[in-house]
Amino acid sequence: MFNASRHPLFDRRALLRGAVAAGLIVPGLPLIRAAPARADGDKSPFTLGVASGDPASDGFVLWTRLAPEPLDPRGGLSVQPVEVTWQIADDPAMRNLVRTGTALARIELAHSVHVEVEGLAPGRDYFYRFRTGDAESAIGRARTLPAPGADISELRFAAAGCQAFESGYYTAWRHLAAENFDFVFHYGDYIYEHGFVTADRTGRTLPRLMPKDFTACVTLTDYRRRYALYKTDPDLQAAHLSCPFLPSFDDHEVADNWAADTDSRDTPAEAFLFRRAAAFQAWYEHMPVRRALLPRGPDVLAYRRFRVGSLLDVAVLDTRQYRSKQPCGDGIKANCAAADEPSRTMMGARQEAWFAEGLRAAQAAGPATWQVMAQQVLFAHLDWRSYPWLKPSEAPLVNLDAWDGASAARERLLHTLHEAKVANAVVLTGDMHRGVALDLHLDWRDPKSPCVGVELLATSISSGGDGVAVMSNAEALHANNPHLRFISDQRGYHRHSVTRGRWQTDFRVVAQISQPDQPVATAKSFVMEAGKPGLVAA
């Protein structure tokens, strides 16, 4: 069941909210009932594809954005609103329509459309398309969640993210699309905000390039064009066509390693929040999410819950908007005492309370078998010593942009899970461009302390370029981290197959992303048995 709590308001941002929100509806503009003429090159307005997302037991969100000229600042459209027809059928040929309606695509939201569909049957496939004028979109597959409390024999879903366009081909998305999942959790870094580059940090020429006029994203137009570029990719479009997404965001949707109202360049908050407002508006315009996630200036309510029958309780967390600024100047460092200060947070007090109350309510109503925390950055402690690009250190090296930069917040959340007697906790993560599996102990310093769950960190779709199956420093990493069960440097996604008694995760990897049309394989599989926290190799 979709659930959203009231978003906190901050007086110092009221002016920003008003400036953005005031232009959402402009009265008096004539309505265009037909798509722009397509005689010149027969340009479709559906160049960015269609998508479904944020499913509930009785419906989901349908999304598209009209853009016959996707990289044009206005997508090739004028200021007038455009009427779009949407259709839902219970068959893939769209012969038996069960719901239809119209929506207005307005320039204030980049001619995007978000349709919240209700009243459908739970736990089943539906198919949908959009039409405007004589143009028709591709047909997508959506799926409602099972009814709350329903007994489910099996659920199959994926986790993926980190998809730098120029770093490689999106072959992993195409393979994911072919697996016909119930849904996909996208953990973030849907776009990367940096400007035009031709080589990665090692000097290797990038497999494909952005247009040369793409500078670093700062304005709303910058972010809109960046999303449009990414969404023209046919493999990404295929993934969205295949099933609903649960979208989240990490740092690169706004700026590298941003935290709350600051960025890594220490831009004054008053300036950075305008950039954040632009970034969030563009994110909303391009994601299949509900109106509850419509930004108010620089603020967006992104944390929310999904109840999947009696099997899963999924809490999608936000570890960017409310976090403390990274301590000790950020980076991967040793001996940062500030990282352990009790006041530090990754979720903020309101979100921490929301999460704890959700666990209590679930326990009272009958908890799902598996409690999932779908979030963005590495949750478990990890000692990074032995990485070749880090200076040798006798003390543990930790990533201060991850939960190691706010260790007290991690301990609070682990104790919340322990006190709520959550038997089967699973943390889904991304960000690292590595496939990682870890056991979560109540006290990471003591391997004999209770294991309270597991963390499954999905690698990137493309960010980081071609990788290797066995990292040169893997042996040292395992020696320094006894709770680390697996780490790999290949691109791909996670496939999760879940039943009442068993959770299996397959690390799906693509051989190369510097070349298109590469095969996919399973690099490793792990299983967790219900009631027995900890990972076992399958």
Residue 324: what pLDDT? 98
Q: Which of 10-19, 311-320, 356-365 has the highest mean pLDDT?
A: 311-320
Sheet containing 451-457: order of strands: 304-308, 312-316, 370-374, 425-429, 451-457, 435-441, 484-488
Which helix (H) or strand (E) segment holds residue 98: the answer is strand 97-105
Residue 10, pLDDT > 50, answer: no
* Mean pLDDT within 356-371: 90
Q: Which two tokens stand for residue 310?
A: 């009696």
Quick one: DSSP state of residue 298?
Answer: T
Name 486's bridge partners: 437
> Under a CB-based contact definition with an 8 Å cutoff, are residues 396 and 476 in contact?
no
Which CATH number is 31-143 given? 2.60.40.380
Residue 30, pLDDT > 80, answer: no
User: How far apart are alpha carbons 481 and 468 in whole angstroms?
Assistant: 20
The string of pLDDT tens digits covering residues 231-250 is 999 999 999 999 999 999 99
- Give 269-275 contacts, CB < 8 A, sequence gap 24+: 273/13, 273/16, 273/297, 273/298, 274/16, 274/298, 275/218
Residue 42: what pLDDT? 67
| 389: Cβ contacts below 8 Å, ≥ 6 apart | none
Residue 457, pLDDT > 50, answer: yes
Residue 363: what pLDDT? 80
Residue 230, pLDDT > 50, answer: yes
Question: What are the domain boundaries of the chain?
Answer: 31-143, 145-537
User: Taking the CA of residue 278 as centre, how many other CA atoms within 13 Å lie in the half-sphere pointing to its CB?
Assistant: 18
* Mean pLDDT within 2-16: 35
Find the range with the poorest average confidence among 196-210, 371-385, 514-528. 196-210
Helix 269-286 to helix 14-21 angle (10° resolution) is 40
What confidence tier does 396 reach under pLDDT thresholds 50, 70, 90? very high
Which CATH number is 145-537 given? 3.60.21.70
Residue 27: what pLDDT? 35
User: How far apart are alpha carbons 518 and 321 in whole angstroms?
Assistant: 37
User: How far apart are alpha carbons 535 and 525 in whole angstroms?
Assistant: 10
Q: What percent of the chain has pLDDT over 90?
A: 84
What confidence tier does 470 reach under pLDDT thresholds 50, 70, 90? confident
Q: Which two tokens stand for residue 148?
A: 């709350």
The string of pLDDT tens digits covering residues 145-176 is 999 999 999 999 999 999 999 999 999 999 99
Distance separating the N- and C-terminal Cα atoms of the chain: 31
Residue 4: what pLDDT? 38
- Mean model confidence pLDDT for the chain: 92
The string of pLDDT tens digits covering residues 503-526 is 999 999 999 999 999 999 999 999
**CB neighbourhood size of 166 (10 A):** 21
User: How far apart are alpha carbons 119 and 490 in whole angstroms?
Assistant: 42
Find the range with the poorest average confidence among 28-42, 52-66, 145-159, 379-393. 28-42
The answer to whether 31-143 and 145-537 have equal CATH topology is no
Q: Which two tokens stand for residue 526?
A: 């792990």
Residue 408: what pLDDT? 97
Which helix (H) or strand (E) segment holds residue 456: the answer is strand 451-457
Quick one: DSSP state of residue 468?
Answer: B
| 319: Cβ contacts below 8 Å, ≥ 6 apart | 250, 346, 347, 375, 376, 377, 403
Instruction: Give me the count of residues in the chain.
Output: 538
Residue 244: what pLDDT? 98
**CB neighbourhood size of 473 (10 A):** 15
User: pTM for this one?
Assistant: 0.92
Residue 195, pLDDT > 80, answer: yes
Residue 425: what pLDDT? 97
| 453: Cβ contacts below 8 Å, ≥ 6 apart | 371, 417, 422, 424, 425, 426, 427, 440, 533
Residue 308: phi and psi, rounded to 5, are -110, 90
DSSP three-state, residue 523: strand
156, 181, 286, 54: CA torsion to nearest 10:
-50
* Mean pLDDT within 191-216: 94
* Mean pLDDT within 104-115: 98
> Under a CB-based contact definition with an 8 Å cutoff, are residues 50 and 129 in contact?
yes
What confidence tier does 203 reach under pLDDT thresholds 50, 70, 90? confident
